[in-house]
Amino acid sequence: MGWSPDEITGRIKLDHPGYSISYEAIYRYIYSRKMRRYKYWQYLTLGRRKRMKKDGRGVRRDSSGKIPGSISIDLRPEVVSLRSRVGDWETDNIIGKLTDKTALSVTVERVTKLTLLTKLLDRLAATKKDALTDRLGIFPKGIRLTLTTDNGSENSCHKQISEELERQVPHS
């Protein structure tokens, strides 16, 4: 089993008082172009050939995670939280493997639990908008009072959804 650069740093301090090295320096050395041929990476705990980015797989598109022009869920009518009337909908996408481009759009009416499922061929906002307006558009206005979405990028067409369904779309 390998050692992590953090463990190496701690061991050096114990075995050789007065000497130190940072774990970052160890990583840079192991993954440097000159040292790659020695394959020191295989002795690390995880044994990764390539070094992972510091912040993992990636950073959100916007530090706030907000969709421009979105309406806060706090501005949603209080009656929606009570679940006392029919016509308040929530929607989200379910995705499988990251390599699979398809998704499943799930839209649920909060009181009756009527669930609308739509397979999306891609995860684009325009595709989600079309699916929502087609599926909810068949219901009378009195049964589509509100629609709540999350802040996922697939919901960035919320203004067009609001216009087509003639309803505000708050985001959680």
Cβ–Cβ < 8 Å for 145, 88? yes
Q: Enumerate the CATH 3.30.420.10 domain ranges in the chain, comma separated.
A: 71-171
pLDDT of residue 118: 96
Task: Note if the pTM is more than 0.75.
Answer: no
- pLDDT tens, per residue, the chain with 172 residues: 577 888 888 888 899 999 999 988 988 888 888 888 888 888 888 778 888 776 554 444 444 556 777 788 888 889 998 999 999 999 999 998 888 899 999 999 999 999 999 999 999 999 999 999 999 999 998 999 999 998 888 888 888 888 888 866 766 6
pLDDT of residue 89: 94
pLDDT of residue 60: 44
**DSSP E strands: which ranges in the chain?**
71-72, 88-94, 103-109, 115-120, 146-148, 170-171
Q: What one-character DSSP code corresponds to residue 75? A: G
Place of tokens 């684009």: 124
- Candidates 89, 107, 110; CA nearest to 154 is 107
Place of tokens 């909810």: 136
pLDDT of residue 108: 96
Give the span between the Cα atoms of 31 and 58, in whole angstroms. 20
Cβ–Cβ < 8 Å for 26, 8? yes
Say whether domain 71-171 belongs to CATH 3.30.420.10. yes
